[in-house]
Structure 1
């Protein structure tokens, strides 16, 4: 088995579920699409918002002692459209239900239960801009291992402070 950062094997390392919109692609006032056709255009290499991805995020993410996995409505398109921009390799994609067109307040995030299933008890970090206290409570009650649900400011996207929190948590939870 290949040894990862910090000497932990890839299978034993915590997972890091990575969102795209609002996390790698800061919103900064951009209006997300509300129709299926709008999302199809948004999730395309010609989307001008993709220029907001910080190329330095790839090396920072790859240096974390974890196994990276996409957790985004972009699904497989994250590998073809998003990954090359910050220099990420092809990553596994979490099996998620279809993203809802509207996301009402006060309900469990559409990804939460699926990510707990994918984690299968392994420690994990979920980095997203739409995590709520309801998601944290549900994961705490339904996931037997440690988990960090880290909410990113959607207007700014991932920042140095986010990497510090995530890195500290991961180092504290290595086997």
Structure 2
């Protein structure tokens, strides 16, 4: 099965906790129209280089990029175009999950290796440990992102290293014959 690369928006792609006077390098301010906000617009920093970099890494290992954000389908219309991502599948989070995103991601990613960028893995540490334990031998890379910086070179390096490890474990991943 194709590996998954899961993307959260707030924190990894939009460094919401960065000081307002110190926009991280490479980020561009966007004013996004959010339907439920009426005329008010959401100011969000996004890095247009992230989309092509994520697409290249996913392509190198025939991995599938998927939104794993509480923005759900709005990520395809608001954030994806701003960073050059095509429409992606979405992990849906119905209601307020008692254990955050872990149950929905577990259902969505059943049987598939995954790397996941998020800034909130420590919100529910017991649920995180249970999630990883239940995945057993499936390769699972939780890449914690500081919401003050968003994705950095180190995060992309971690993803690339994980993808290389998958190729070692699964010679068919990324090969021309697959």
TM-score (norm 1): 0.75
Partner of 1:157 in structure 2? 150
What is residue 9 of structure 1 aligned with on the other side? none
Cα deviation digits, residues 105-143 of structure 1 (max 9, x gap): xx84x1011101111111001110001243441122211
Residue 75 of structure 2 aligns with which residue?
78
Change (3 A) 1:142 1:81: same
Identify the residue that residue 8 of structure 1 maps to in structure 2: none
> Alpha-carbon deviation of 1:29?
4.0
Q: For the residues of structure 2 that align with 1:129 and 1:40, how far apart are their CA atoms?
A: 25
SS at match of 1:83: helix
Partner SS state of residue 23, structure 1: coil
Aligned 1:1-175 pairs, distance under 5 A:
12-27=1-16, 28-29=18-19, 40-41=36-37, 46-49=41-44, 52-64=45-57, 65=61, 66-99=63-96, 108=99, 110-132=100-122, 133-144=125-136, 145-174=138-167, 175=170
Distance 1:148 1:45, change over 3 A: farther
Which structure's CA Rg is the greater one?
A: 2
Residue by residue, what CA displacement relative to the aligned partner does 1:56-105 show, whole Å, maximum 9, x if unpaired?
000110011320000111111000000001100000001223347xxxxx
Q: State whether residues 45 and 81 of structure 1, in contact with CA within 8 Å, keep that contact through their aligned partners in structure 2.
A: no
SS in 1 for 2:107: helix
How many Å apart are 1:46 and its aligned residue? 3.1
Aligned residues: CA RMSD: 2.5
Q: Matched residues in 1 for 2:119 and 2:36: separation?
A: 21
Q: 5+ unaligned residues in a row in structure 1: which ranges?
A: 1-11, 31-37, 101-106
Structure 2: state its 5+ residue gaps.
Answer: 21-33, 171-178
TM-score (norm 2): 0.74
SS of corresponding position for 2:90: coil
The equivalent of 2:173 in structure 1 is none
